[in-house]
Structure 1
């Protein structure tokens, strides 16, 4: 019991410390002291604490300092936690205007557009919450249907049970799909001003194209200190691992 109490007490102190740091960092940001605000926000991040608000504020601080890659990186991290964060989406679009590379996306299929516009709009935690609530409602509605003596009420409870069960199945499917997409889709941001992308994981290999700071890439594979990447227009190549930062 003493051990559990000590753990709980340390967690409370850590949360209070994080809240104090967050409040101080916000005040520094409001006063235009962006570098100092970044130091405090980063101190919270180093504690292993994550939230879309924390990463959004970090993105804003770096944006104010005209640091392209870090601002895009943290806006993307905020959206990874909360895809429906409209402020992060808006500010990300502004930050992307500072990038040099203009890359056109490949045309998406109907299923890809559906996944982006519907399934990925909510985090898998949100879909899981919807599934849990739906399962609870299914159980309650079924009991109401089972113990009801009125035929009209039975019909209403039966239909609502079927509908809620459908919502449960859809939310579980969407949540799993979202989780699998997020885990398998390894995304990174270029963190150097300019980098040559090679056709093989070697410094002696040929250059296939060039990328600049702030460009978003997908990691396909890795070998030693090299990572195989793909950009939005479908081009593929190898980059030195230290030249990018995975979200």
Structure 2
């Protein structure tokens, strides 16, 4: 009975994978023939199956960009980069999509540590850092075994030094993976989808307007109260926005 269940599960996964692959192929064909709305429907079907990837969101972003839909294109490019920060095509197209936005927000200057963090740690997702950590743990273990069984003093020294380097790199990449995981879970970001929305100084409709945002702007979500979210934009300004006016990025 147990073997039958395992077999059925394997078959179901195989069919499920084929279905997603077929939909992806069909969606790409629709995109090539400039049927962008049809392509989007097919890509959405793949997402509804729970099969997500950087390529899927990149293609969705391209489809929305072709339809001049600013917020959805930026949203999907950002999602693609969350899954794979090294997706250069998504990085480049995101730059073009952001040029269509109205808000011109000047970012606060970054400290040296923040610049180092962006140029090194944030180049990979926590999943990618985790995979590197696993690879280094295997490499370090193999090198240590070679050190243990080596007879030549020079080889012992070589394997010992390289195994120690591997373990030091393992510790470093593990810290990076943990840091990025904590950042991904605690740092909630969103894209404004409303064509234009007033940001309030309190989570009520009759509160004072503090500034205005337009579709496609990326914000950091600080808090949630009822149907309101407290946000912070790149220049440091803080305010409250109606939840329906934006869409969260960290909702895989």
Smaller-chain TM-score bracket: over 0.9
1:48 counterpart residue number: 50
1:72 counterpart residue number: 74
SS at match of 2:101: coil
Give the TM-score normalised by structure 2: 0.96
Instruction: Give, in angstroms, the shift of residue 62 of structure 1.
Output: 0.1
1:219 counterpart = 2:221: yes
Question: Matched residues in 2 for 1:143 and 1:240: separation?
Answer: 59
1:162 counterpart residue number: 164
SS at match of 1:8: helix
Question: Matched residues in 1 for 2:37 and 2:198: separation?
Answer: 30
SS at match of 2:220: strand
SS at match of 1:104: coil
Match of 1:118 among 113, 120, 123: 120
Question: Matched residues in 1 for 2:142 and 2:12: separation?
Answer: 39
Unaligned runs of 5+ in 1: none
1:206 counterpart residue number: 208
Residues 190-199 or 120-129, more deviating: 120-129
What count of residue pairs does the alignment treat as equivalent?
247
Instruction: Give, in angstroms, the shift of residue 116 of structure 1.
Output: 1.3
SS at match of 2:240: strand
Match of 1:18 among 13, 20, 36: 20
Question: Matched residues in 2 for 1:3 and 1:148: separation?
Answer: 47
1:182 counterpart residue number: 184
Give the TM-score normalised by structure 1: 0.98
SS at match of 2:108: coil
SS at match of 1:205: coil
Match of 2:109 among 96, 107, 110: 107
Residues 31-40 or 139-148, more deviating: 139-148
SS at match of 2:202: coil
Instruction: Give, in angstroms, the shift of residue 206 of structure 1.
Output: 0.2
Question: Matched residues in 1 for 2:124 and 2:174: separation?
Answer: 13
Question: Matched residues in 2 for 1:136 and 1:46: separation?
Answer: 36
1:39 counterpart residue number: 41
Unaligned runs of 5+ in 2: none
2:32 counterpart residue number: 30
Match of 2:100 among 98, 101, 126: 98
Question: Matched residues in 2 for 1:149 and 1:6: separation?
Answer: 51
Question: Matched residues in 2 for 1:10 and 1:147: separation?
Answer: 46
2:131 counterpart residue number: 129
Question: Matched residues in 2 for 1:6 and 1:144: separation?
Answer: 43
Question: Matched residues in 1 for 2:38 and 2:139: separation?
Answer: 48
Question: Matched residues in 1 for 2:110 and 2:186: separation?
Answer: 18
